[in-house]
């Protein structure tokens, strides 16, 4: 099977990027190959993680662009130049517009630290604690123009403990993200996902 070229977009520390790189190194990412890392945040930890593995890493600071569309057009240009086929948002803290999405139909996925549709947007773990929910978790989903609203590919649940803080709950969820995201990227690269409206099925 020919390689599937993947770009990972990240704003932060990049532990999900690391999980993808580790899965690839272990042969657990199917034909997916991370060929590009892009961050909107200069100095983001994800950039150093990419460089440590020899993956090209770029910074495109969104503050240098007049609109979301202008930014997304620039990102689209970079990803096309890299012949990217699959885009993974791994802690990429920006809303992505159709300017980018339409160039990669059903090929942009995101990992979010809640059981969507509960607690979309920022600080999902804090939202979950404040609500008093007893189950938390994470979701990998296709990205559409909304905030964490796209069709769900995979989810994993974790318990909320009575003594949880935002940090302790986030760490428990993150461990599941690190398992779920590489598995979803592998399935997508292998062509094992079928979407019918909002419903995504795994076919083998």
Q: Which residues bind ligand GRF (CB under 6 A)?
A: 10, 12-16, 90-91, 111-113, 174, 177
Shortest separation between residue 59's beta carbon and ligand GRF, angstroms: 15
Token digits for 123?
A: 């600080």
What's the 3-state SS for 78-128? HHHHCCCCEEEECCCCCCCCHHHHCCCCCCEEEEECCCCCCCCCCCHHHHH
d(CA 131, CA 119): 9
Task: Name the DSSP letter for residue 42.
Answer: T
Q: Quick one: 16 or 97, whose CB is closer to ligand GRF?
A: 16
CA atoms within 13 A on the CB side of 98: 0
Shortest separation between residue 76's beta carbon and ligand GRF, angstroms: 21
187 touches 29 (CB < 8 A): no
Q: Quick one: 21 or 35, whose CB is closer to ligand GRF?
A: 21
Shortest separation between residue 60's beta carbon and ligand GRF, angstroms: 17
Q: Quick one: 97 or 139, whose CB is closer to ligand GRF?
A: 139
26 C-beta neighbours (distance < 10 Å), count: 9
Shortest separation between residue 24's beta carbon and ligand GRF, angstroms: 15
- CB nearest ligand GRF: which residue? 91
Q: Region of 7 please: left (phi>0), alpha (psi -120 to 50) or beta.
A: beta
- In the residue annotation, 62 being an active-site residue is answered as no
Q: Quick one: 3 or 131, whose CB is closer to ligand GRF?
A: 131
Among the options 62, 112, 141, 161, which is catalytic?
Answer: 112
Q: Quick one: 70 or 108, whose CB is closer to ligand GRF?
A: 108
Shortest separation between residue 30's beta carbon and ligand GRF, angstroms: 20
β-pairing, 193-196 vs 152-159, is unpaired
**Catalytic center residues:** 112
């Amino acid at each position: 099977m020919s390689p599937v070229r993947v770009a990972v977009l990240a704003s932060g520390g990049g532990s999900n990027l690391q999980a993808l790189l580790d899965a690839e190194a272990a042969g657990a990412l199917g034909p997916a190959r991370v060929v590009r890392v892009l961050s909107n945040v200069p100095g983001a930890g994800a950039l150093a993680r990419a460089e440590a593995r020899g993956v090209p890493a770029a910074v495109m600071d969104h503050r240098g662009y007049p609109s979301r569309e202008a930014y997304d057009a620039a990102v689209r240009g970079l990803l096309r130049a890299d012949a990217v086929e699959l885009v993974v948002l791994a802690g990429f803290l920006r809303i992505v517009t159709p300017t980018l999405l339409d160039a990669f139909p059903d090929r942009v996925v995101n990992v979010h630290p809640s059981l969507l549709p509960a607690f979309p947007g920022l600080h999902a773990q804090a939202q979950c604690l404040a609500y008093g929910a007893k189950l938390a978790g994470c979701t990998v989903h296709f990205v559409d123009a909304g905030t964490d609203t796209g069709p769900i590919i995979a989810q994993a649940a974790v318990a909320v403990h009575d003594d949880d803080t935002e940090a302790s709950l986030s760490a428990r969820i993150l461990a599941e993200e690190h398992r779920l995201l590489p598995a979803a990227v592998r399935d997508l690269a292998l062509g094992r996902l079928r979407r019918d409206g909002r419903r995504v099925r795994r076919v083998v």
